[in-house]
Structure 1
Amino acid sequence: MQTNIGRLIALGLISVSAAHVAAADVIQGTVTDASGDAPLQGAIVSVDGINRSATTGRYGDYRLSDLPPGTYSVSVSYIGADPVSQTVTIDGADTVLDFTLGSDVRYLDNILVVGSAAAQAGAINQQRASNAIINVIDSDGLGNFPDTTVADSLARVPGLSIETDQGEGRYVSIRGINTDLIAASINGVRTPSPEDRRGVLLDGVPSDLLDGIEVQKSLTPDVDADSLGGVINLKTISAFDRDGRFIRAKLEGAWNEISEEVSPKATLTYSNTFNDTFGVALSVNYQDLRIESHNNEMGEWGLDEDVSPFYFPNDDYEQRWYGINRERIGLVANFDWRASENTDLYLRTLFNNYEDDEVRNKFEFRDLDDAEDGTINETNAVFGLNEVDAEVRARREVRKIQTIALGGETQWGDWQTDYEVSYAYAEEDDSDNHDVTFRFKKIQKAFPEDVTFDYSNPKKPVFSGGALLDAVYDPANYDLDAFEQEFTVNEDTEWTGKFNVSKDSLVGNTPVTWKAGLKYRDREKTRDVNLLIYEDDSINLADYARDSFISGWRLGNPQPTWPDPGLTRQLRGTFGPGDLDEEGSFFDSNGEDYKIDEKILAGYGMGTFDIGRLTLVAGVRFEQTDVNLEGRVVLEDELTATPTKFSNDYTNVLPSVNAKYEFTDKLIGRAAYYAAVVRPAFGEMAPFIFINDDRDEAEIGNPGLDPLEANNFDLGIEFYPTKLSVISAGVFYKDISNAIFPATFDIADVPGSVDLSGIPAEFLNGDDTDGGEIEEISTFINVGSSKIMGIEFNYVQSLGDLTSALDGFLLSGNLTITDSEATLPDGRDVPFLKQSDTIWNIAIGYDKGPWDLRVSANYRGDYLDELVAPNLDRMTNDRTLVEASAKYKINDNMQIYLEGKNLTDEPEYYYFGDERRLSQYDEFGTTVVFGARLTY
């Protein structure tokens, strides 16, 4: 198959060279603001009278080739600035023609900025000029919102929503497609994942290190096809984004109302160009974030069917206090060298270190199923307590992401090549932690009275019970149940090489850019889990408790501060061999280990056709995947871990077509189709088998999973009615095959697609006399056809274009409505995981003179978070976040600002099937950010 792909690419290159080529006269140059220092990306340069146009790139550069001799009027269109034209005569030689537009632009943030208006203009122009369906956040769009993480910034893009962790954006969903099914890149290099999945955490990369973000929703053949929803590309700074030296320092503090601490953050950026041929861009960012959150959770709910059916809590109830210190250190070092008139070379590097130092105190009321023996109804239960746990986890998790890309571009007349070798590495080190649980046992024997559990307010349930609760809150009643230490490391490494070649030509009178390329990706993913569990019930909690309760606690019941993490840390290394739980330690240390090698060879061919007002990009991509997997079969009772291996290979043919039609200069229609393939998540296809004989169940990975495949369709319209505005609408439809869902089966009902050959025969022989017969299998399966469909609206308007009375005011808003359906093996129809049916954003701003003000709101509807059972699936409730920022320019070099996050103190709520049934409730509080920027 590799040979076949090579032949296809070679055939494409021969076709390119055979195309009819006219005279190779060229107009090239740059488009900048009036200062000449700030390049404008996304400007459209057109040659009047003939069907020729080009779009400026990142550095404001453009190139028009194959022009017949003559005299032409060349014009530039850029939303937010008046058009500019120049007359030029082509006489057989290359012509340099530069343009300047608009007013003088000053630097206040990552790139050229005149406040919010410039950010809006930059984003709109890039989206308008693109031949694919994209959304852009210009760098000042990052600076204009109170965003700590990239995920927070992306929440404002049409069709995107985020999952949060401790109030910060972490994972991103595009059009209802969860993070494991979309792709993220840094400067075009696929970002590895430090977790045991494909989804990339976007809370570790500080937004201050970026120059902009692009979300590509329709794929072209020259883009990796490993995404059902789209590709998020994070662009870091380049020295050639500006002319000459640039220095910016940023210093800020963030105050959170729950933690009542100020968290410092600082960024220093430097770039310079030397002799217009060599550029250096450096940026370093540091943040020490201190936050606190208050949480309570319910384990499960059961159904009482005796008289009037209702659900009641029947597992456990937990309260959790989190004290978190997140330290982020980021570094970007980029070097650009214009080695000759025809060749540009670059080295782009990013290093990010994220340390999550977390203390979690958990207080857990166990075995609430005893409520069935008491008095229960839909709002409260009266029963006797059985066990209560007091637990502390002290964890220092270190995550690293590194990308290095070395490459360049070379122009030979009408031919252009680009090439790159890249290295990407991610690591999650979870080896500095301990988790210690103390338990108050056999409560009913010593305290036979009942407690009342009132869950009429499902978000904040309350226990009451007099003397019994006094005993529950006495640390002397708790003895050690387990002390756990974990030493787990996840690593993700990818080496990539790619080569692309393109050629401008004429086919008849139609300008065509032919393009073809090859790419090779070699990825290795490893997970190594090691857990030690110790037991010694002679250790009493009273010796590991200091203060009594958390002050300012927001939930229904008091929250103890014990066990104290500083005191329990002293238990590390004090246990003897006789205290080790060998069976539990062995089982948990071996079952999740795996190593996966994934190699992908891709090739493509495509053409970009300028047919009058129609621009058509069409082609096909081939991807061959070769994967080798290693895991273990773990038997709990025998303390054995047997290596298991699996391999697979497959090839996908992936066509795509993107069309853009300019009805008028202000009205553009778009249509797109592309095929995509997403390989199973690593934790889903790893060939592990856990056999837990105590519970008569097995958990197994499924290395035989098929990759997800999708046919994606888009149709949209864009209208640019005034100088700085856009109104757009679009519909999309995704027909998905082989979607992957978790599933649990009785042993007799396991489908043939799940391979049970790795399970020893004695566990499947139907004879329970050996004490190990498996009754239940939990695994991952492919389901049949699934569908996602939706509609998007977007509106951006400079209100000053409508009336001079509103000069300086900016309005933006977007709405996405989606629907999805997948059918599980039991016949149940469910929506896609993590898909919100409604997402909207709205922002109003004022940008004039020294002031830049903005208020924004972001809404994300509820979504399916986890499959449990009919009427009991875990759902995430809808959420609206309100934020604001005020910036004041003291002079051309100094700006101060004040920002507010989560101004309405919005919590996050998860529930089981119905909002009356608590799963998880978190409060994070409001955060106020204050700071200053100094720019030269």
Structure 2
Amino acid sequence: MNKFRLSLLTLAMAGVGSLACSAVAQTAEQAPQVANQQSTNDSNATAQALDSVEVIQVRGFASSLFRSLDAKRFGDTVSETISADDLGALPDVSMADALTRLPGISAVRTGGQAAEINIRGMSGGFVFSTLNGREQVSTSGKRNIEFDQYPSELINSAAVYKSPKASLIEGGVAGTVELQTASPLRNEKQHTFTVNARGMYNDRANEVPDGVEFGHRFSMSYQGKFLDDTLGFAAGYARLYQPSVATQFVGLAYNGQKDTNDDGVNEFISEGFEIQHKGGEETRDGYMAALEWTPHDAFTLKADAFLSKFDKEAFARGFRVKFGGPTAALGNPTLNGRSVIGGTFNRTSSSFTRVEIVNDDNRDYDEVSSFGINADWDVTDTVNLSFDVSHSSAKSDFRNGLLWALVAEDANADAPVLDTNVSISYLLNGLNLPSVGFNQAEAFSDIDKVMVSKYGIYPFVNEDEVNAYRFDVSWVLDMPVVASLEAGVRYSERTYKNDRSVFEYGSDGAFLNSQPPLRLTADMVEVVDFAGDFANYPSYLAIDLDKALNSWFPQGIPQPVQTWGIGNPDVINSPTPGLGPNTAWSVQQSGDVYEDVLAAYLMANLDAEVFGVPLTGNVGVRVVETDQRATDLADVGGDPLKGAQNITDDAGLVNTRYAASIVGVKYTDVLPQLNLNFGITESSQLRFAAAKVLSRAPINRLASSTSFTISDDGEINGDSANSPFLRPFEAMQYDLSYEYYIPSGAISFALFYKDIKSFIQDDVIENFDFKAAGFPVPDVYYPDNSGRPVSTTNGNLNTAVNNQNGGYIRGAELAFTKVFDFLPEIWSGLGLQGSYSYTESEVSLVNSLGGEPIETTFEGLSQDVFTGTLFWNYQGFDARVSARYRSPFVSSQVGIDEQITNFDSETVIDMQTSYDINDNFKVLFQVNNLTDEPTKSYFGDKAQTGTIQFFGRQFYFGAVYTF
């Protein structure tokens, strides 16, 4: 026991001494029992070790780096951390920006802002995230945490665990991100109050009609200790209001084929492209509170709450080109291999070639909340108990409102007729903007030509929540090798709900007599010109959505509903059978997923010597039982012998075609894990980690909507796009890292290898047991026109499956931090922080969106990722420039539908300067995306343009007051 305490204190003294920023304040007998505290909260172990040291602050950015290095050095896993001093210091709009400055971590930008993070070449679906040690659900509708939902001002620390240990909640093949809010009793000062205010300006907003140029950030927080430091309270509020602007070209997938050069072989034709202005406003309000009570040294009770509301109102205006597929007339085609990248499309009597003037209005209301209570009790000097109850919920209400307008021969005619004289010329230019031409170009901004032809609104409403209960116990042992034991059990219940609804009126490709188009008036429209890089593209009419809809629907705009559709032949009480849209998808794509998880672990913390080398770490195993189920609508063709029921939608229409049930599977995973840390010298250590890890399938892919048939001989066969029978992604992973701590800095090098066991893909499950899975199939079936019964037998289910052909992901990371304090005084605060990561994988995915199927890399994998920060501090003046680079990678872009494309490399540069006027007040100036780096993507080959999107620079000026 004493040997274990002394070992930790020796490490702490060596680390802080090497950084020249602290001194020893307590003796070995006063050092905390770190192993005892690990079971209470995994992320507190490092902080507890450092409590034994009195820290003399190094001012400026260097101090936060030193804290991060200390946390990394004394952690028991391969990890990266960000200290409280660092969060929100650079233009970190959210935690996504902050995390991308860590080695091996990159971001996918959405609307110009970092949102999803990738770790070691794996996308956000493989990243598990916790807040205060508790599982977090997401507004993404998947499992991907959208880190822009979390204000950096309200997060006290962050850690990325690249190697797991048994006490961490399972779920991260790529890694686990642990966010921590404030613990008021651990605050150094008795009372702290901070106010942070910044104004914001986007320099591209003036290029977007109705674009908002100015925004702001504001936050305030308080931490205080009362009743002789036995009661602590913390609260915080952070508000972000910012413009969201972009100008973009989006190429659409190659989903048509035609022999364009009479060689007897079909070439691939794109669906078309979009050229648009995007704008809007984003408002995020975040709230945090914590109450901590320690009536005596052996017991602590803490309650904390976190709430973030992110409201986004966005519009997209411009035009969408539909080439018309193989039925259009194509002249002068330009080919890239077998894909058409240029030519002239002319409408024919059988094609739908057209230009749609789009005025879309999207509203996204996202809310995340997390609540928890934790009780921690030192029963004896060697036994600790911890009990935790938590609730995490997320709700996303995305309303996708689309307004289509088409060119008429004469918009003033009593019966307007679509102008079918359409000719579209284009030539892609790789990762530069393409050349385009339209014979109707002048009509796009002519109120006497343009008419609104369709309005549609398509809400996506997702609700996701998890309730969890956790009990942990630890024993400190007086043994030669095992310093302590930890064990625990956790039970969670997760419910995911997806609700789709719809309202449609009119047609996006024609003028309907039954739902006539809208004649526009001058007060509804504004002629909009493209500017800057897009100045050569034609002007168009921007339509005021509210005015147009109020005119089109004077009795009020109908609200979307979840409905079978009035034109659905299976609806038995349709008011107008055979007329109107068939919107059964709004019911079929709605449903619930239930996931109950029971996990238990046992872990031994190690403290020993091997051939005179100190050894610490842990070895353990985690056993996880998962019970996952989903509601299912099985298309049984209305056959009551197959369970067909009368199912009523929100509009009161009854469908007789489907059978409803709940289907699913239960399974158990055993996850052994090992972390070994060898203290080679007082300033260097070697780490080795090995573990079996898992990431569950995206929760929306566990939803179920199935059709099945029974043949005359009784064989059951089915189809389902998603599947509640999907098992987790599994991998064996190995990490080897070396860390060398130099005066005022550190160097680290790491190798990693992940042996991925399976991926999700569409395939066939043979001899599938439909009845055992919960499908409403009969034991006996009566074939049509036959009075004889036949026994049913299991056939195949075509669905999403776990492909067992996995592969490896492997790579290396190098990180360097150094403050050049040996320089003359004015330059003694100069420093550099940098990292480089190399990742490769034999895993490949087949993508046919660019035409001929090609192999692409694993989604989210960039071979090269670099982060670097050059900083300087002198007499209250602090300046830094940060850059993050990632080489090409595969991810999704959003056109008409989500499309998986290749993204080009990108370098995002941020900068900040600040000056401390006194100990309490400082002013700052920041620039985010200093070089206005665009996002560019392509369909497998750079000649086949995907997205070219510019977001602008964001400038911040503000002040921080602390007392």
TM-score (norm. length: structure 2): 0.80
Cα distance, 1:459 vs structure 2: 3.5
Which residue, 189, 202, 206 being the options, matches 2:147?
202
Which residue, 529, 533, 537 being the options, matches 1:557?
537
Residue 323 of structure 1 aligns with which residue? 279
Residue 861 of structure 2 aligns with which residue? 835
Distance 1:862 1:287, change over 3 A: same
Matches for 1:735-750 after TM superposition, within 5 Å? 735-741=755-761, 743=762, 750=764
Contact 2:407 2:419 in 1 (8 A): no
Q: Is 1:357–2:377 an aligned residue pair?
A: no
User: Can you list the C-alpha shifts for 1:1-33, whole angstroms capped at 9, x where unaligned?
Assistant: xxxxxxxxxxxxxxxxxxxxx7xx89xxxxxxx
User: Can you list the C-alpha shifts for 1:489-541, whole angstroms capped at 9, x where unaligned?
Assistant: 2111111111111111122x446111111111111111111112222642235
Q: Is 1:383–2:345 an aligned residue pair?
A: yes
Cα distance, 1:183 vs structure 2: 0.6
Matches for 1:782-797 after TM superposition, within 5 Å? 782-797=803-818
Distance 1:481 1:895, change over 3 A: same
Which residue, 317, 331, 355 being the options, matches 1:374?
331
Matches for 1:769-784 after TM superposition, within 5 Å? 779=800, 781-784=802-805
Q: Is 1:546–2:560 an aligned residue pair?
A: no
Between the aligned partners of 2:827 and 2:105, the Cα distance in structure 1 is 30
Residue 651 of structure 2 aligns with which residue? none
Secondary structure class of the residue paired with 1:227: coil
Between the aligned partners of 2:869 and 2:178, the Cα distance in structure 1 is 24
Contact 1:704 1:754 in 2 (8 A): no
Between the aligned partners of 1:367 and 1:800, the Cα distance in structure 2 is 63
Secondary structure class of the residue paired with 2:477: strand
Secondary structure class of the residue paired with 2:156: strand
Matched to 1:736, the amino acid is: I
* Pairwise CA RMSD: 3.6
Cα distance, 1:75 vs structure 2: 8.2
Between the aligned partners of 2:51 and 2:497, the Cα distance in structure 1 is 51
Between the aligned partners of 1:779 and 1:831, the Cα distance in structure 2 is 20
Equivalenced residue count is 835
Cα distance, 1:609 vs structure 2: 1.2
Stretch of structure 1 that moved more, 348-357 or 386-395: 386-395
Matched to 1:281, the amino acid is: A
Matches for 1:389-788 after TM superposition, within 5 Å? 389-411=356-378, 412-430=380-398, 434-440=401-407, 448=421, 450-456=423-429, 458-465=431-438, 468-507=440-479, 509-510=480-481, 512-535=483-506, 537-540=515-518, 542-543=520-521, 545-550=524-529, 552=531, 554-555=533-534, 556-558=536-538, 560-570=540-550, 571=552, 574=556, 582-583=567-568, 584=581, 586-612=583-609, 613-633=614-634, 640-689=657-706, 700-722=721-743, 724-741=744-761, 743=762, 750=764, 752=766, 779=800, 781-788=802-809
Q: Is 1:810–2:844 an aligned residue pair?
A: no
Residue 132 of structure 2 aligns with which residue? 187
Between the aligned partners of 2:669 and 2:51, the Cα distance in structure 1 is 44
Q: Is 1:264–2:216 an aligned residue pair?
A: yes
Contact 1:319 1:559 in 2 (8 A): no
Distance 1:483 1:629, change over 3 A: same
Secondary structure class of the residue paired with 1:616: strand
Secondary structure class of the residue paired with 2:93: coil
Between the aligned partners of 1:125 and 1:346, the Cα distance in structure 2 is 26
Between the aligned partners of 1:360 and 1:857, the Cα distance in structure 2 is 30
Cα distance, 1:704 vs structure 2: 2.3
Stretch of structure 1 that moved more, 355-364 or 402-411: 355-364
Matched to 2:722, the amino acid is: G
Residue 80 of structure 1 aligns with which residue? 19
Distance 1:318 1:635, change over 3 A: farther
Contact 1:134 1:217 in 2 (8 A): yes
Distance 1:123 1:840, change over 3 A: same
User: Can you list the C-alpha shifts for 1:901-931, whole angstroms capped at 9, x where unaligned?
Assistant: 1111110011101111112221101111111
Stretch of structure 1 that moved more, 368-377 or 917-926: 368-377
Cα distance, 1:627 vs structure 2: 1.3
Contact 1:586 1:639 in 2 (8 A): no
Gaps of 5+ in 1: 1-21, 27-44, 57-73, 106-112, 692-696, 766-775
Between the aligned partners of 2:626 and 2:929, the Cα distance in structure 1 is 44
Matched to 2:333, the amino acid is: I
Residue 918 of structure 1 aligns with which residue? 945
User: Can you list the C-alpha shifts for 1:259-281, whole angstroms capped at 9, x where unaligned?
Assistant: 15110111011111002110111
Between the aligned partners of 2:738 and 2:50, the Cα distance in structure 1 is 32
Secondary structure class of the residue paired with 2:747: strand
Between the aligned partners of 1:210 and 1:875, the Cα distance in structure 2 is 33
User: Can you list the C-alpha shifts for 1:97-130, whole angstroms capped at 9, x where unaligned?
Assistant: 9866453x4xxxxxxx722011000000000000
Between the aligned partners of 1:250 and 1:912, the Cα distance in structure 2 is 43
Cα distance, 1:484 vs structure 2: 1.7
Stretch of structure 1 that moved more, 255-264 or 468-477: 468-477
Cα distance, 1:800 vs structure 2: 1.8
Matched to 2:623, the amino acid is: F
Between the aligned partners of 2:260 and 2:768, the Cα distance in structure 1 is 35
Secondary structure class of the residue paired with 1:800: coil
Distance 1:218 1:753, change over 3 A: farther
Which residue, 341, 345, 361 being the options, matches 2:301?
345
Between the aligned partners of 1:353 and 1:876, the Cα distance in structure 2 is 30
Stretch of structure 1 that moved more, 823-832 or 624-633: 823-832
Between the aligned partners of 1:824 and 1:635, the Cα distance in structure 2 is 33
Contact 1:438 1:482 in 2 (8 A): yes
Between the aligned partners of 2:685 and 2:236, the Cα distance in structure 1 is 38
Between the aligned partners of 1:554 and 1:848, the Cα distance in structure 2 is 41
Contact 2:114 2:148 in 1 (8 A): yes
Distance 1:458 1:606, change over 3 A: closer
Matched to 1:80, the amino acid is: L
Secondary structure class of the residue paired with 1:720: strand
Residue 165 of structure 1 aligns with which residue? 110
Contact 1:821 1:830 in 2 (8 A): no
Between the aligned partners of 1:628 and 1:830, the Cα distance in structure 2 is 32
Contact 2:19 2:742 in 1 (8 A): no
Secondary structure class of the residue paired with 1:562: strand
Between the aligned partners of 2:591 and 2:659, the Cα distance in structure 1 is 12
Distance 1:654 1:698, change over 3 A: closer
Secondary structure class of the residue paired with 2:295: coil
Cα distance, 1:873 vs structure 2: 6.4
Cα distance, 1:456 vs structure 2: 3.1
Cα distance, 1:860 vs structure 2: 1.2
Between the aligned partners of 2:332 and 2:139, the Cα distance in structure 1 is 48
Cα distance, 1:678 vs structure 2: 1.9
Gaps of 5+ in 2: 34-48, 207-212, 336-340, 348-352, 411-416, 507-513, 569-580, 639-654, 709-717, 784-796, 848-852
Residue 209 of structure 2 aligns with which residue? none
User: Can you list the C-alpha shifts for 1:230-268, whole angstroms capped at 9, x where unaligned?
Assistant: 111111122222321101101101100111511011101
Between the aligned partners of 1:864 and 1:824, the Cα distance in structure 2 is 10
Residue 845 of structure 1 aligns with which residue? 871
**Identity across matched positions, percent:** 21
Distance 1:98 1:560, change over 3 A: closer
Stretch of structure 1 that moved more, 804-813 or 195-204: 804-813
Cα distance, 1:419 vs structure 2: 1.4
Contact 1:587 1:639 in 2 (8 A): no
Which residue, 892, 908, 914 being the options, matches 2:935?
908
Between the aligned partners of 1:186 and 1:718, the Cα distance in structure 2 is 28
